[in-house]
């Protein structure tokens, strides 16, 4: 993760949380106590966050105690953002967003691949008074924090690692061997 972010790419940890299987991952519902979560899966993510300091966390497809991973108030807002003081942003997995209001209120900051729920529908929710512009600003601030922290905004584009390892000349004129991170 640190090497990835050293290349001015926002690194993300995934799939947060309780993502224990791939088969049926969009229909599985992990029923687990808060204590058991804290002593198992959440502990591993907490250690990874402290060690790698990623800019983003990708929420999981599965449900956790009835709520989708990208709509789970406890795991996203209460644990990740409040208890652990995570400053980066939460991004959905591809098609892992299932709502506008519930996901946004729980702490989802960015939706992939498009803006089915956090685009025009979010604007409608703001216009209807369900969220304030300050709420939107907080979500946007997290994305910008991660981009500035990783150097995406301030540092110039660098050649791809595969280009460097092969000693190839990039379209920008770079030609050198890569050093390890």
Please give the positions annotated as active site. Answer: 93
Residue 175: exposure state from Cβ atoms within 10 A (0-12, 13-18, ≥19) = exposed
- Using CA atoms, how far apart are residues 47 and 60, in angstroms rounded to an integer? 18
CB-CB contact of 109 with 143 (8 Å): yes
Give exposure, 112-149, as e/b (b: 16+ Cβ within 10 Å). Answer: eeeeebbeeebeebeeeeebeeeebeebeebbeebbeb
CA nearest to 49, candidates 90, 107, 102, 92: 90
CB-CB contact of 65 with 31 (8 Å): yes
Rounded to 10 degrees, the C-alpha dihedral 175/6/148/157 comes to: 10
CB-CB contact of 68 with 98 (8 Å): yes
């Amino acid at each position: 993760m640190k090497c990835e972010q050293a290349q001015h790419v926002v690194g993300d940890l995934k799939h947060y949380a309780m993502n224990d299987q791939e088969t049926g991952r969009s229909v599985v519902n992990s029923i687990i106590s808060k204590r058991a979560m804290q002593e198992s899966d959440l502990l591993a993510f907490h250690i990874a966050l402290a060690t790698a300091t990623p800019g983003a966390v990708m929420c999981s497809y599965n449900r956790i105690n009835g709520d989708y991973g990208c709509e789970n108030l406890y795991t996203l807002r209460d644990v990740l953002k409040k208890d652990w003081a995570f400053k980066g942003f939460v991004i959905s997995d591809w098609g892992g967003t299932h709502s506008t209001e519930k996901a946004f209120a729980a702490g989802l900051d960015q939706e992939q691949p498009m803006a089915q729920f956090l685009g025009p529908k979010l604007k409608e929710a703001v216009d209807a008074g369900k969220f304030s512009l300050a709420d939107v600003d907080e979500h946007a601030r997290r994305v910008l924090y991660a981009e500035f922290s990783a150097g995406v905004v301030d540092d110039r584009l660098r050649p791809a690692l595969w280009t460097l390892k092969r000693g190839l000349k990039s379209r920008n004129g770079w030609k050198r061997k890569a050093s390890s991170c």
